Every structure is written in C-alpha cells, then in structure tokens.
Amino acid sequence: MSIQTRRERDAQKMKEDILAAAREISNQDGFASISIRKIAQKIEYTPSIIYHYFSNKEEILEQLLESGYLKLTTSLASSKRISDNPEDTLRIMTRTYIEEALKIPEEFAIVHSDSSPNVIKHTSFLFEGASEKRKAIHMIKKCIIDMNPQEELEGGKVELTAQSIAAATMGLTLKLIAEKNLEEAQKKKIIDYFSDEMVVRMAKYPGK
C-alpha cells in the first residue's frame, strides 16, 4: 500500500469517526447541540484537528443530513422499480419509508422535530414547488398523476396531495416511534392499513 493510499484511508477513517461522534451527540441531545468542541471531546482530539477534515460545524451537519436523506430516498427509488402499477408503487414506497425510518428511530425523530435552519433546509417539503426540489414528493406526485390518467389534474392540487401524503406518513412514523412498546401485531396492522388503503384513498383524485 502506497503512502498516499494509506493517508487517504486514514483521512476517511477520521471523517467517519467525526461523523459518528456528531451523530451520537445528536441522538443524545439534538442536532442543535452538536459543536466542534463536543465532537473533539468524544473522539479525544483537539478541536483544531477536526478543522483539517471539515471546514466548519455546518459542513458536518450537512453530511449527516445528506447521508440520512440519501438512505431514505435510495430505498424509495428501489421500491419504485418493483412495480409498474402506480397504486402498488405508492403502497410499497409508503411502507418502505416507514420501515426504513423505524430502523433509525432516534435519528429520525430528532431530525424531524428540529426547526434549526440547517436541518429545515434538508427536511422541509411543504413549500410551494417542493415536487421539483424534493425527490420523495416528486415520486408521490408522479404516482398520483399515473393513478388518474383520465383526469385533468390541477398541478397545484396534485402537489398539495403529495405533500399531505408525505406529512401523514411522517406523522404516523413519528407516532409509531413514540409508542415504542406497541405490540408488533398491532404495529403491522396499522402500517398495512395506512400503506395499503389510506394512502391510496388520499391519492385518488376527488370525484373519480
């Protein structure tokens, strides 16, 4: 192994350690509590060392949020390829989102209850035009359009419906996280009903 390769590997390992420490702080005290000083204490280095790998705290937060968002959107994109039927696609996407979020309950709950600008920049999806900037909203919107091929759909209402579905899905997920002692059978029943029936009803355009 060359010296250059070893240095690159060591640098990557240090970045991963820094991000892991930041994620641990976030899980314990919230995103807003992350600081260079706290990260340095956790990895037992001086704060100045961290600046060799990240420009500032904001860059660390950006990478944490991007990695979490990427996991969810990648899962959604994968589920989309399972079926050509838009109703089935919407069902699968909804279920996948909930199940993936429940694998990281603390991180999901903390991030989606944090209103700090750095977090909201990544997690917001209720603004006008979100279907052009948020992959998940865009995918839901496409399902709605494909489910209603004979309807003349008003673009603004389709986006609002997609946003409402996303908000309802997130709300259910957060409630499932909060009620962590819920019996597995009941949890499955709720997820099945919401994914297989409620979301599809919301996506059916009024009057169809």
For 87-117, how does the pLDDT look when each residue is reduced to its tens digit (9 = 90+)? Answer: 999 999 999 999 988 988 877 887 788 787 8
Alpha-carbon separation of residue 114 from 41, 55, 79, 171, 195 (angstroms): 24, 23, 28, 14, 26
What is the per-residue pLDDT for 207?
44
As a whole number of angstroms, the distance between CA 121 and CA 129 comes to: 14
Question: Residue 20 pLDDT > 80, yes or no?
Answer: yes
The four Cα atoms 176, 181, 187, 190 give a dihedral, to 10 degrees, of -50
For 61-81, how does the pLDDT look when each residue is reduced to its tens digit (9 = 90+)? Answer: 878 877 766 666 666 666 666
Domain 1-54 has CATH 1.10.10.60: yes
User: pTM value?
Assistant: 0.76
Domain ranges in the chain are: 1-54, 62-203
Q: How confident is the model at residue 13 (pLDDT cuts 50, 70, 90)?
A: very high
CATH architecture classification, 62-203? Orthogonal Bundle (1.10)
145's enclosing H/E stretch is helix 135-147
What is the per-residue pLDDT for 26?
82
Residue 152 corresponds to which tokens in the numbers above? 């003349």
- Max mean pLDDT among 29-33, 143-147, 154-158 falls in 143-147
